[in-house]
Amino acid sequence: MESPALTIGSITKSFGSNSVLLGIDLALAPGEVTVLMGANGAGKSTLVKIICGVYQADGGSMSLAGQPYQPRNAAEAIADGVVTVHQNIDDGVIPDLDVANNLLLDRLTQRDAPLFVRERTMRKEAKQHADAMGITVPVTARVADLGIADRQMIGIARAMARAPKVLILDEPTSSLSSQESKRLFNLIDRLRDQGVAILYISHRMTDIRRVANRIIAMRNGKVAGVFEGDNIDYEAAVTAMLGHSLSDVTLPAVERGKPVLQISGMQLKPDWPAFDLTAHAGEVIAVTGLLGSGKSMLASAIFGTRKPHSANMSIDDTPYLPTHPQDAVERGVFMSPKDRGNNAVVGAFDIANNMTVPFLSAFSRFSLLSGRKQREAARRMIDDIGVVCQSDADGIGTLSGGNQQKVMIARWLLKECRVLLLDEPFQGVDLGARRDIGEYIRNTAQERATIIFVSEVDEALEVADRVIVMNEGDITGDHTNQQLDVSLLLSQITSSHAA
């Protein structure tokens, strides 16, 4: 390995009595991608925040290109050439600005920046950065009006425009389609060839196999293993991360109950075909497909946040057509949305209040909230679903991304429902926690219909009794998850005219 671009030695960090990092040593080489793996709560996010200047380490040292490195804030880290694309999409963009201003914002705010900027020149340069990333939206578009994937790509493009020496990518493909992911991987290859040291944080094994030169596994605040060479032992890396091997899941066949949710003639857009879908009590259905396949639109149509072009729906043989999420909740249809930062997490609330906010009336009497009952319910869910925290009174912002996701899922598992919709429930969740959440979902599914919407096929296979494929707004495959033909499944997902 060449002389490291970034060296970290014996870094420690505690929050009160909670020791998060217990002496971390690692080095990032120029022109290499180092993948950082770790279960939720292992300390990855804290380590990244120290590297990019958000937190200060309690002990240890860092050096950048052989010189002492101790950024006091994110601006100093960026000025030194250490750039981070955070997992929370809107940490990397300014939603109220247009694409051009987002891509060039750092340069425009430098001390030596010109007082007046020609708008035509700025947009031309911004378009060059956008083209390099394969971004096709107009540079005049307001970022707040764009979808999650476009915002993610703009955040990454903004990082590239800074010409980093060290680039940290935290779950960068979590909101990207397969084509957008390929563009990102090609860009990573170019940066690697240019000598940029890249720290890549991901739980997706397909990503890791594609980009990794080295894998560093973290567990309980320590480095649990380093894996490198021409033939990286990926299974050993996962074992080091979890502390035990991750055996294949064999789902028992379930005896599904009566139909709960029945959909006929669902047409999501005027130019898309109509389809039917029935979800039974006791079964877990996974709806999978590429970004833009219509799966999230289907979830929104069922929950009442988006009106389909046409549809007939019923719950327990009673007509159901929600015009608002409150209609859905009152009929026993619960939904955990994707993009938890914008659509779910209440940043000012603690864990218990985040978890119970839709059901405060259930913990109230004569308009008076019973904090004791509320927190008892929250603590039960924390234990059941395995949220790593000090107590239910911890601020939601103190949790790792994966543990925040657990809280959001626990919110809708707190009370019984007839239909449970989970849109990308494993986004940002590590492999072990994914199994825990999936097991809890299945163990509590007997009295309801459960539909999860996922982009990753392995997530569908781990939790679902049936796997439904959506492609261009239509259901193109419906499979029982017993000796399933994975090749056929993948073909139906990727074909532009799936049979």
- Local structure of 284: helix, strand or coil: strand
pLDDT of residue 33: 96
pLDDT of residue 497: 45
Confidence (pTM): 0.61
Alpha-carbon gap, residue 300 to 297, rounded angstroms:
5
Residue with tokens 């988006």: 306
Asked if residue 389 has pLDDT above 50, the reply is: yes
Asked if residue 343 has pLDDT above 70, the reply is: no
Name the band, by pLDDT with cuts 50, 70 and 90, for residue 499: very low
pLDDT of residue 476: 93
What b/e string do you get for 153-165 counting C-beta neighbours within 10 Å, with b at 16 or more? bbbbbbbbbeebb
- Tens-digit pLDDT profile for residues 125-181: 888 878 877 778 888 889 888 877 778 778 888 877 777 899 999 888 877 777 778
Alpha-carbon gap, residue 64 to 62, rounded angstroms:
7
pLDDT of residue 278: 97
Q: Can you list the domains of the chain with their CATH numbers?
A: 6-242 (3.40.50.300), 259-494 (3.40.50.300)
Asked if residue 41 has pLDDT above 90, the reply is: no
The whole-number average pLDDT for the span 326-348 is: 81
The whole-angstrom distance between residue 437's C-alpha and the CA centroid of its chain comes to 15
Specify the higher pLDDT residue, 279 or 344: 279
Asked if residue 306 has pLDDT above 80, the reply is: yes
